[in-house]
């Protein structure tokens, strides 16, 4: 996303956004943010009709942010919207971490049960594998070209 779009999204002025980035430039490595080249900016102006008129004639080239840069930007801006976005991002990370840990525990538990009861459920596993292989063979059969005489249409 470009800086002027993000300024609108985070409800700050574009110059304030650029100042915050300059003050915190260490937080924005090249895979988080970069500045468009002159040629890229000219091509964007030429190809995009919906750019704001004030931006089309601006001498300053815009900054482009990746997904990680957009998230980092929410932590350096001082608007209420940026604060809410940053809090939402932190909550999402915590939720994903908790989910991953829960999922890991379940996977380990299933492996433990499988090894413990492997002999008792060997027939069930064998039947499931047979059914899975049978489905694969049926799909392969449908994909084959039929053999025999064909009338040309």
**CA–CA separation, 44 vs 121, rounded Å?**
62
pLDDT digits 0-9 by tens, 93-111: 888 878 777 777 777 777 7
pTM value?
A: 0.60
Domain boundaries, the chain: 3-78, 95-142
Residue 116's pLDDT is what? 73
**CA–CA separation, 38 vs 63, rounded Å?**
12
Are 69 and 24 contacting, i.e. CB atoms less than 8 angstroms apart? no
Tell me the two tokens of residue 147. 């053999």
Which residues, given as ranges, of the chain have pLDDT below 50? none
């Amino acid at each position: 996303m470009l800086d002027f779009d993000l300024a609108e999204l985070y409800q700050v002025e574009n110059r304030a956004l650029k100042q915050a980035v300059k003050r915190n430039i260490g937080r924005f490595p090249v895979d988080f943010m970069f500045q468009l080249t002159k040629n890229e900016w000219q091509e964007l102006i030429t190809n995009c009709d919906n750019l704001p008129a004030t931006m089309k004639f601006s001498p300053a080239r815009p900054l482009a942010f990746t997904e990680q840069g957009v998230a980092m930007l929410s932590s350096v801006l001082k608007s209420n919207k940026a604060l809410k976005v940053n809090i939402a991002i932190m909550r999402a990370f915590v939720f994903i971490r908790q989910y991953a840990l829960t999922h890991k525990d379940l996977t380990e538990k299933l492996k433990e049960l499988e090894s413990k009861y492997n002999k008792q459920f060997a027939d069930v596993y064998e039947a499931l594998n047979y059914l899975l292989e049978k489905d694969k063979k049926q799909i392969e059969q449908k994909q084959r070209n039929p053999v025999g005489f064909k009338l040309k249409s």
